[in-house]
Structure 1
Amino acid sequence: MEKVVYSPRHVRPKFRRKKRFDWAALFIWGLLIGIFMLFMTLGGIYGVFNYYMHDLPSIAPLESYEPKAVTKIYAADGSLISELFEERRTPIKFDKMPSELSQAVLAIEDKHFYEHPGVYTNSIIKATLENIRAGRVVRGASTITQQLARTLFLSREQNYSRKIREALLALEIEHAYTKNEILELYLNQYYFGFGVYGVEAASVLYFNKHASEMTLAECALLAGMLKRPNVYSPMNDIAKAKKRRDLVLNEMLRDGRVTEIQYKEAIDTPVHPVYRKRKKSMAPYFAEYVRSYLTKKYGDELFRAGYKVYTTLDPKLQRFAEIAVENTLVKFETDYKSRFKPTREEYVKQFFDTPPEGSLTPYLQGAFICIDAKTGYVRALVGGRSFEESNWNRATQSKRQVGSAFKPIVYATAIDNGFTPADVMLDAPIEQKWGDDIWKPTNYDNEWHGAVTLRHALNKSINIIAIKLLGELGRSMGKNENEFMSGGARQVIDYARRMGISAQLDPYPALALGSAGISLIEMVSAYSTFANNGIRVEPIFIAKVVDRDGRVIEQNAVRKNDALTPQASYVMTSMLESAVNHGTGRNVRKKGFDRPCAGKTGTTNDYSDAWFIGFTPQYVAGSWVGFDKMRSMGRGMVGGSIALPIWAEFMINAHKDLPVQNFAELTEGISHAVICERSGFLAGPYCDRSREEIFVKGTEPIRSCDIHLTPMATQEEDFWHYTPSKGREIHNELEF
């Protein structure tokens, strides 16, 4: 039998029993790996946390955080004059915000605001997955707290680093503040388009009402604007604004934040933002003066501190002043069109109603100031005809020659040093040599009036007498007429300083004629001395400044300075009353102002500047007219014809509702006597021109007139050649 050989593949393999799987070891290894991975993750999280916490901004400033707020400037009656701000914002407390507003914001921005600790995990996961799929940041998941953290402390760049910092800050904020406090910060901080921040400013802009008065539809509209205020603003696109508002309302209904009835009423409300016509700024020159002062004192803080600045401005008087200036200048531009080219109307039309902004204008300009006679409170200020066309403040910044309006300061110096309204001086041609030059001053009318009293000389604004007074005042201060003049001028300068004039004043004879450049506000302040029995009141623009917490941080009391004796001031007021009633200021009466008042005109060489400064027992005011670039207004354009009408029109309106008040009588240190107007001595029985005169006690005449000794006295000849002595030497014939 043949032997069969089997190959290995035919050999039946020997069965081996499999080993049992070690589940316990797998579990242990898995557990160890899990623990390792957990620690690695926690370590990574801790490392990331430490990394970002290292340079994370501190939220400590929130403890004293005050959002940038508008500083508001108010008139004396509480009406708003102007606002100063970096961001137009008026912060309000959470309890002043309507509940519908917070509900609308939560419905569209953060439904789980009251549930999460600052970050909402579900939203983060969804946003992360979407962003991974897109390969870039396409969706955010920021809660209201995160948005607040970003706005206050971080940039708006889209990256994961910023998002991590944002989340960490949000957690810190939630730990430190209540939910309502966070909402208050958020709603006061966010931008709502057109330069406004916070819900209060937004409500005023879009609805012309306070936030507390907003309806549900209005609350939903603002809530919808938070995401993209410029896109969803009703002032840019009403259709988009309505669509976004309706989305907010739908979300509120779905969340159960409003009822069906509330929803239907709100959804049917049309979107009609209030387009308020831009109001012309009240008293822009006044407001700019106040802003400049505040900026120098408080710096940039002024524009974000939310101060309330209470000024002294009276809006009614301000309107009177602005109308008086424009009415008068338009009338002169119309009546003398060939002189005043271009007129303001022509200038504006030349630039299609939008003239270029600048400091100076080519047309006729004017300025006006009124202050309270007793307090110095600035009640009205006009710095020019249009702040938009020229922001140069001609009432406070311009220093122009004041002409004869300066003469009362010369006369006040004389009266306070023993001169009297009855003193007689000779108005005749004079010459004075200064170096190689010979000065030959003349009077406005180029006429000579002979021997005149000081009262008459001031009434008629006689130049020669004002110049001679300088020499008389300085007669004890030198050896020749030039030294007399310089000495007298220095004495007048001293009185001018006491009366509030800080401009440069040179000790030359021309000082008596108002050759110095002085601002209108300084001149008005100086004349307040006469209205206050010798006490000057400094002009005050700001009564007080209050911070956002109601603390008074600045308060300005009335500031008074002794400048003249009460007796000298009383005499000067009487002399300036005569200037209005019988002198160069008599147009005040022709214009219809019949109240007790006093004042003085001023006109400079070639009719380039015209002034009138005057006062009543209630107000001191001044007006100026001229061109910015000095040029003649033409013959006859004197203070009494072109500047005085502004003053008169204003005063008529300003005193309509005030009781008639006389200047206070002064008896102490004052005496009265009937004098001869030709000699200045006590009037005799044959004096044809006599009047009762007032004197500082001790300066009244003690001699009787010795010109009119008989009824047939040749008065005219004696009038020209008489030189009074009156117990002290008066040098009417100065030797030049």
Structure 2
Amino acid sequence: MTILKRAIQFFIACTILGLLTLISLYYYVKSDIPSVAVLKEVQLQTPMQVFTKDGKLINQFGEKRRIPVRIEDIPQPLIDAILATEDNRFYEHFGIDPIGIVRSFLVLVSTGEKKQGASTITMQLARNFFLTREKAYIRKVKEIFIALHIEQLLSKDEILALYLNKIELGHRAFGIGAAAQVYYGKELGELTLAQMAMIAGLPKAPSALNPISNPTRAKQRRNVVLGRMFKEHYIDQATYHKAREAPITARRHGAEIELYAPYISEMVRAYMVERYGTDKAYNSGFRVFTSVESDIQAAAQRALVNNLHKYDMRHGYRGPEKALWQPTIDIPWNEQAIISYLKTVKEIAPLKAAVVIHISEKSATVLSKAGAYHTIEWSGLNWARSFISQTRQGLPPKTVDDILSPGMQIWIRNHNQQWQLSQYPTPSSALVSLDPQDGRIKALVGGYSFAQSQYNRATQAKRQVGSNIKPFIYSAALESDYSLATIINDAPINHWDKTQGYSWRPRNSPDVYSGPIRIRRALAQSKNVVSVRLLRGVGLQESADHLLKFGFQDEDINRSESLALGSAAMTPLEMARGMSTFANRGHLIDPYFISEIQDAYGNTLGTAQPLIACDEEQQDMQTHLCAPQVITEQNAFLVSSAMHSAIWGGGSWRHKTGWTGTGWRAQNLKRRDLSGKTGTTNEAIDTWFSGFNQNVLTTVWVGFDDASKPLGRAAYNNSLGKNQLVGAESGAISAQPAWIEFMRSALVNEPLAPIDPPPGLISVRIDLKTGLLSHKNDFTSRFEYFESGTAPTKYVLDTGSSTPFDEPLPVQDELF
């Protein structure tokens, strides 16, 4: 009894001493224990992801790879693997595991080493958020108290979810969601049991035990995890043995970029940083859905790249990048030496570095960086006459040795499933496509390669717009009592400028004049002198003020008569916005490129609220506000109708009165709902094409970044046969082909969307020569649209004389 009594007294004393020690330790470290309340609203460092409108990942920003997951979205076998390995009594203890602590103490007493930490998942969470990994007794004490606080604050599921999303798992992967992506390129639900066990084994030593850096040790660790799962009855023996025999399948995966669209994603990054700050934008796990559609964006990128290569090819080959050896002098390099050299060469997609190994009369064999041999047939080489200058090319090649020799380091490109000799295009380009009804940007490309230049020419490059300005000049004229049937004299202008001391002689391009011409045809054929005469008729200041209605910046609109020829400078996005007014009945929309912003868990933080092209009486039926109407719907239709003629022309070819507009190549699309306008500045320094229907508007610009360098001209290449683009570069030759290629893809599933005439217009038959009313119903006349009160009131004489006579407008010709 005495011994028992003393044992009880000793136990009570130890308990009291332990409690006193615990209390003393608590007060000793209390000031250093952080508040765990922050865990209630913890924001894990999660990268920002940028998606297309249809959900394809186009970029990711942030230092840490993390994909937050909810506890209910984690597969149970993965939870079992984590618990079996890290803390099998997690759902039973109160933050610390007394059994584990005793076990760790016994190991320390018996070995003198701290081999086991006895840390529960809650304690590991405490360390990961608030402490370091230093093996010190005082750190362990703090860890225990913080864990106890955490258990009071959070539920077990909340603790486990935080832990699984926080832990470092190697190769910059933080959390199990990111680990599944980094090691296997999968979602958690797609992992096999062996792969889950591999991830569950990583927290112990993520650098040393991961399957990429050390697959042997990683496999051993994985099998330990599987053994723990079997021992704890999470899996049966057959499942255990099957998983143990599974091979190591891990390899490094980046973020699964489904469509690389760097210019639009950089716009998103800049916007998010400006709105939220760098740290929050990069680390809060924002999911930003852009306005671009993946297939249309991809088509835009292809069209722009292909068009720049076509320009570069017609201007000639500038030669190899380097000669590694001289065929008749040096010993050829061996395969390994060539590949080693090529690995030092920076490639910019879609170009691949290669070295010429062998040539024959009509083909060449090359070796690429990947160690693959490719044959380039004559059809991929025959374009390569030598480049002399922007306006001169050498003679067409006859055999391969006119172009290449073994040892040359060249660039190749796989185009239409065929390898061809290539080179970096020297000009630049931009493409913007948007929905003119609400401003949603459908596609945007700011240059040939973001890796080559991060300068976004679609939004940053203010370039002279050339004849792309003319629809706006003509809009001003139509607002000033001109009509599409008004006759203007297309004749040379010689204007003496006393202030400058010289004559200003604007010329047509080409330098051909038609004499009296209707405004419709003048716009369609881009007559420069007619544009100047209209500017004078309306007034320079009045015309400039009218242009400001389309959202252009006042400082970009110069107050001189050269304004009529496109001396104003605008970005492609600004031009697309202005042009959209003609496609949407006169409304000025605001382009937008972000459709929705979500948090890391998919909760919507905001959606686009665009202004849409609607009438005020429709406002109550709309969920969004109407965009302001800056020109009348009648004015917008008349301009778009004249731009329709720029593609489809007019007159009668059978009667030899037919004519084409400058955008006639767009007829290849075989769509009668398209309107368009070319644009070319002096010496073809800037070239443009803008075109649209009611639902899609696209603007393309091509030029050199050096705004003093002209695009030049290309001579006919006998090696290339028919359908070449030759002659002086212009909007129709340099920019429009990209527009056509893109629109062919963008419109493939789009129904016809012509711009219908609005109320307030009448359609009457006019004489094509005089613009007066006509009784004839033949090739000498056509129906023309007029705003009410602006139609001619006189008829042309049947004799063909242009002398009109008064006659009332026939009621039967009024269509609206």
Query: TM-score, normalised on structure 1?
Result: 0.82
Partners in 2 of 1:55 and 1:397 — Cα distance? 52
Q: Indicate the SS of the match to 1:82.
A: strand
Residue 185 in structure 1 maps to residue 252 in structure 2: no
The alpha-carbon deviation at position 102 of structure 1 amounts to: 2.5
Corresponding residue for 1:282?
260
- Residues 698-719 of structure 1, C-alpha deviations (whole Å, 9 max, x = no match): 11222344xx7856x6x9xx9x
- Decide whether the 8 Å contact of 1:686 with 1:710 is kept in 2: no
Deviation per CA, 1:106-165, whole angstroms, max 9, x where unpaired?
A: 333234434443233454466567779999866533222111001112233343332221
**1:602 corresponds to which residue?**
679
Whole-angstrom distance in 2 between the partners of 1:434 and 1:251: 96
Larger radius of gyration: 1
Aligned to 2:544: 490
Give the number of the structure whose residues are more often helix, by fraction.
Answer: 1
CA distance in 2, matches of 1:343, 1:372: 43
Deviates more, 1:166-175 or 1:536-545: 536-545
Q: 1: distance between equivalents of 2:12 and 2:219?
A: 55
Structure 2 CA distance for aligned equivalents of residues 541 and 453 of structure 1 = 40
> Matched residues in 1 for 2:9 and 2:235: separation?
54
Show the counterpart of 2:486.
423
1:324 is matched with which residue? 303
- CA separation of 1:212 and 1:289: change in aligned 2, threshold 3 A: same
Q: Does structure 2 conserve the Cα–Cα contact (< 8 Å) formed by 1:343 and 1:363?
A: no
* CA distance in structure 2 between the partners assigned to 1:42 and 1:275 by the alignment: 50
Does structure 1 residue 504 correspond to structure 2 residue 556?
A: yes
Aligned to 2:756: 664
Which secondary structure state, in structure 1, belongs to the residue aligned with residue 701 of structure 2? strand
- 8 A contact 1:538–1:558 mirrored in 2: yes
Name the residue aligned to 1:352: 345
Equivalent residue runs for 1:370-385 within 5 Å: 370-385=433-448
Closer, same or farther: CA 228–422 of 1 in aligned 2, 3 Å? same
Residue of structure 1 in register with 2:615 after alignment: none
Q: Deviations over 1:552-599 (max 9, x none)?
A: 332223312212101111111111111112244333345344332111
Whether 2:323 is the aligned partner of 1:246: answer no
**Which structure 2 residue ranges, 5 or more long, are not aligned?**
324-340, 350-423, 612-626, 650-659, 714-727, 808-816
Instruction: Please state if 1:525 is matched with 2:503.
Output: no
Matched residue, 2:523 = 458
Question: Matched residues in 2 for 1:143 and 1:364: separation?
Answer: 62
| Residues 1:90 and 1:549: Cα distance change in structure 2 (over 3 Å) | closer
In 2: Cα distance, 1:686 partner to 1:98 partner: 77
The CA distance in 2 between the partners of 1:617 and 1:396, in whole Å, is 23
Mapped contact 1:344–1:364 kept (Cα < 8 A): no
Q: CA deviation at 1:333?
A: 1.7
Unaligned runs of 5+ in 1: 1-23, 475-484, 727-736
187-196 or 294-303, which deviates more: 294-303
- Counterpart of 1:18 in structure 2 is none
CA distance in 2, matches of 1:267, 1:565: 75
What SS does the aligned partner of 1:333 have?
A: helix
Q: Kindly indicate whether the alpha-carbon contact (under 8 Å) linking 2:223 and 2:244 is maintained by their aligned counterparts in 1.
A: yes
Secondary structure in 2 aligned to 1:614? strand
CA spacing shift, 1:688–1:119, aligned 2, 3 Å: closer
Tell whether 2:710 aligns with 1:632. Answer: yes
The answer to whether residue 503 in structure 2 is matched with residue 436 in structure 1 is: no
2:430 aligned residue (359, 367, 372): 367
Question: Is the contact made by 1:587 and 1:644 (CA closer than 8 Å) also made in structure 2?
Answer: no
Letter in 1 for 2:313: T
Alignment check: 8 A CA contact 1:413 1:495 kept: no
Once the 2 structures are TM-superposed, how far is the Cα of residue 494 of structure 1 from its aligned partner?
Answer: 3.0
Q: Does 1:576 align with 2:623?
A: no
Shift of 1:685: 7.6
Q: Is the 8 A contact 2:550 2:577 kept in 1?
A: no
* C-alpha deviation, 1:619, in angstroms: 0.9
3-state secondary structure, aligned to 2:204: coil
8 Å contact from structure 2 (residues 476, 543) kept in 1: no
Question: Following TM superposition, by how much is the alpha carbon of 1:59 offset from its aligned partner in structure 2, in angstroms?
Answer: 0.9
Higher mean alpha-carbon deviation, 453-462 vs 154-163, is at 154-163
Contact kept, 8 Å, 1:69 with 1:306, in 2: the verdict is yes
Task: Work out the CA distance in 2 between the residues paired with 1:275 and 1:513.
Answer: 56
Distance in 2, matches of 1:693 and 1:381, equals 36
Q: 8 Å contact 2:309–2:425 — kept in the other structure?
A: no
Q: Which residue of 2 aligns with 1:141?
A: 118
Amino acid at match of 2:464: Q
Q: Which of 675, 690, 694 is 2:785 aligned to?
A: 694
Q: Structure 1 residues 538, 432: CA separation in 2 closer, same or farther (over 3 Å shift)?
A: farther
Deviation of residue 434 (structure 1)? Answer: 6.5
Aligned in 2, Cα 1:84/1:45: closer, same or farther, shift over 3 Å?
same
CA shift, 1:425, in A, is 2.4
User: What SS is found at the alignment partner of 2:773?
Assistant: coil
For residues 344 and 507 of structure 1, the distance between their equivalents in structure 2, rounded to whole angstroms, comes to 47
- Map Cα deviations across residues 357-402 of structure 1 (whole Å, 9 max, x no partner): xxxx972222212112323221111222222222221211211111
Q: Determine whether 1:614 maps to 2:717.
A: no
2:745 counterpart residue number:
653
1:19 aligns with none
Amino acid at match of 2:474: Y
Tell me which residue corresponds to 2:175: 198
- The answer to whether the 8 A contact 1:686-1:709 is kept is no
- Quick one: distance in 2 between partners of 1:416 and 1:693? 17
Q: What CA distance in whole angstroms lies between the structure 2 residues aligned with 1:313 and 1:284?
A: 12
Report the Cα distance in structure 2 between the residues aligned to 1:198 and 1:36, rounded to whole angstroms.
45
Aligned in 2, Cα 1:55/1:381: closer, same or farther, shift over 3 Å? same
Q: Structure 1 pair 131/442, CA: closer, same or farther in 2 (3 Å)?
A: farther
Partner of 2:653: none
- In the alignment, is the contact (CA less than 8 A) between 2:484 and 2:519 conserved in 1? yes
Report how far residue 405 of structure 1 moved. 0.4
Cα 1:130–1:437 shift into 2, 3 Å = farther
Check conservation: 2:687, 2:735, Cα contact below 8 A.
yes
Partners of 1:37 and 1:259 in 2: how far apart? 44
Question: For the residues of structure 2 that align with 1:406 and 1:685, how far apart are their CA atoms?
Answer: 35
Name the structure 2 match of 1:732: none
Deviation at residue 267 of structure 1 after TM alignment: 0.7
C-alpha change, 1:136 and 1:394, in structure 2 (3 Å) is: farther
Between the two proteins, the alignment pairs up a number of residues equal to 669
Match of 1:471 in 2: 536
For 1:288, what is the secondary structure of its paired residue?
A: helix
Mapped contact 1:525–1:536 kept (Cα < 8 A): yes
Describe the shift of the 1:101–1:549 C-alpha distance in structure 2 as closer, same or farther (beyond 3 A).
closer
CA deviations on 1:666-693 (whole Å, 9 max, x unpaired) are 3x22123333444433348899954332
Return the offset for 1:168: 1.0
**Structure 1 residue 252 displacement after superposition:** 2.9
Determine if the alignment matches structure 1 residue 218 to structure 2 residue 195: yes
Percent identity, aligned pairs only?
Answer: 32
Q: What is the Cα deviation at residue 355 of structure 1?
A: 5.3
Q: Distance in 1 between matches of 2:606 and 2:171?
A: 32
**1:464 aligned partner, one-letter code:** V
3-state SS in 1 of match to 2:83: helix
| One of 311, 331, 334 as aligned partner of 2:313 | 334
Structure-2 residue corresponding to 1:4 = none
- CA distance change for structure 1 residues 502 and 72 in 2, over 3 Å: closer, same or farther? farther
CA contact (8 A) 1:137 1:159 kept: no
1:718-729 alignment runs, 5 A limit: none
